[in-house]
Structure 1
Amino acid sequence: MSDRTTCYENLEQPQKRGHATEAIVRAAFAVRDIPVLVPTSDNEPYDLVVEVGGRFHRIQCKTAYRKSEGTVAFETVVTRRRGDGYDREDYHGRAEYFAVYDPINDNRYLIPVSDAADGKMEIRFREPNNGQRVGINWAEDYLLEERLADLRRPR
Structure 2
Amino acid sequence: MLDRTTCYENLEQPQKRGHATEELLRAAFALRDIPVLVPTSGNEPYDLVVDVGGRFHRIQCKTAYRKTAGTVAFETVGTRRRGDGYDRAGSDGRVEYFAVYDPLNDNQYLVPVADAANGKMEIRFRKPENDRRAGINSADDYLLEERLDDLRQPRSG
The question of a shared fold, defined as TM-score above 0.5 by the shorter chain, is answered with yes
**1:45 — aligned with what?**
45
3-state SS of paired residue (1:61): strand
* Long gaps (5+) in structure 1: none
**1:60 — aligned with what?**
60
Segment of structure 1 superposing worse, 98-107 or 77-86: 77-86
The answer to whether structure 1 residue 132 and structure 2 residue 100 are counterparts is: no
Structure-2 change in CA distance of 1:82 and 1:55 (3 Å): closer
3-state SS of paired residue (1:114): helix
Residues 19-59 of structure 1: CA deviation (Å, up to 9, x unaligned): 00000000000011100000000000000000113210000
Q: CA deviation at 1:88?
A: 2.9
What does residue range 1-155 of structure 1 map to in structure 2 within 5 Å? 1-79=1-79, 87-153=87-153
Q: CA deviation at 1:149?
A: 1.9
Structure-2 change in CA distance of 1:82 and 1:101 (3 Å): same
> Within 2, Cα distance between the matches of 1:46 and 1:139?
23
CA RMSD of aligned residues (A): 1.9
Q: CA deviation at 1:73?
A: 0.3
Q: CA deviation at 1:84?
A: 8.9
Q: Percent identity among equivalent residues?
A: 81
> Within 2, Cα distance between the matches of 1:136 and 1:29?
26
User: Any conservation in 1 of the 2:57–2:151 contact (CA below 8 Å)?
Assistant: no
* Long gaps (5+) in structure 2: none
Q: Report how many residues are paired.
A: 155
3-state SS of paired residue (1:68): coil
Segment of structure 1 superposing worse, 24-33 or 82-91: 82-91
> Within 2, Cα distance between the matches of 1:136 and 1:86?
31
> Within 2, Cα distance between the matches of 1:85 and 1:40?
21
3-state SS of paired residue (1:30): helix
> Within 1, Cα distance between the matches of 2:72 and 2:126?
10
User: Any conservation in 2 of the 1:53–1:153 contact (CA below 8 Å)?
Assistant: no
> Within 1, Cα distance between the matches of 2:26 and 2:85?
33
> Within 2, Cα distance between the matches of 1:84 and 1:39?
23
TM-score normalised by structure 2 residue count? 0.92
